[in-house]
Structure 1
């Protein structure tokens, strides 16, 4: 849970380290209220307090101390036994709640990661787990049907001007940007908002080479970052091979590659190890990775 909080609340490493210690310490404070009331609490109440795993850890340590004070110590055979007939809480309860906490925190971390991916990534709707389309998956045909009217109006508007090339009839649409904008706003409006990309619409077709030209700060890198899902657009829609990045980014990543302007190679990895790493990241079938790597290496020789 602390890892989850710090990943999203404290992006810099130093802030994360300080925040972890603070949150970890604060999560122990409720035990000061629970410990004097332990004997009067019901079993359900004790189990509920273990939802904070540090409280469960403290209660487990308390049980160990109580068994040691009794002179027997905590043995494996006593895990499901209370310290006395007046008690209703066992070490087995603590262990079970640890597993329950692990599952709950994992699901919570996955949920937060999807709706709030941080600096990089496309956030999903806060209701995404409750949408049938999320579990069934988005298909290309559905996305194309939804955007059919938008696409047609966009093509009509673009071909009416001499400033645009005519739509090729023998090429399949690969990437489409429809009124895409990206605005960077600052906390408490300490600085004016920066409009990196404003109302950009364009089509990129399969089998063609498309270049983005512009001066520094024109929005070229920002546009590429939005297409590849590194950052979300503020407005507009981006469709890659029929998949909307707002809902089907996982599908887009499987068919999209990016060679950034900076070096992302690892000094301690060989060429083959690099290819294997990126093949795994792209979800390539594991039983075909070696054959694909050998083919690529031979093509380069």
Structure 2
């Protein structure tokens, strides 16, 4: 990819220089028609017109509306204006023609549906998911408008969008923190609307902003959420010990959130989402 970009940059630079060097023919041309033809090269036309402009300035005349059509050295300044406009049109047509003739303009839209026998059945299926908020003026604000997607086991699914696109709202609906206005969502065979308690046993959520208790240490946070996820009492300590190592907070396990840096707090939030063998993890970053 980088090689293609470097090649394109090199070729475009050489092409620009070639067009500019045509300007040196200016001294050898002795007819207005030849100079007009020279102006089919945009950079050369700009250079010739600049030269005429400088000459008029040296004569303390300047380029005015009433002298733009005066011929000097077989060239009119207004010709340069017209020709540069024509050049813009010609170059635009050439660029678009090359794009359509030499390149596949639909490459960004070409996709191939992967056989589910290869990637397995989807763990999350979302169909026409909607979220509407009442504005209080008999109108509805649509935060999520008919989202359809599938997420598969052992894969990372990245949901991208600009601020306010509805990413956090979508995650909130899938994790049961916000009610669904329309559509349906199935997580590992369970319906989000009717079976959220079953879903929460195998789901973890790392929210956009850390939700930590200042009076609980790192290991106490992990211990609490391990029990909430259904980890039996005899396995909790093993889960906590494993998780503090995995998230790199072994030396901070007894520290409170107020004693952690911003990055360490995010690590703890991630550990909370992962602990208990979460099968589905939502990371809102």
TM-score, normalised via structure 1 length: 0.43
TM-score, normalised via structure 2 length: 0.45
Whichever of the two has the greater Rg, that structure is 2
Which of the pair is proportionally richer in strand? Answer: 2
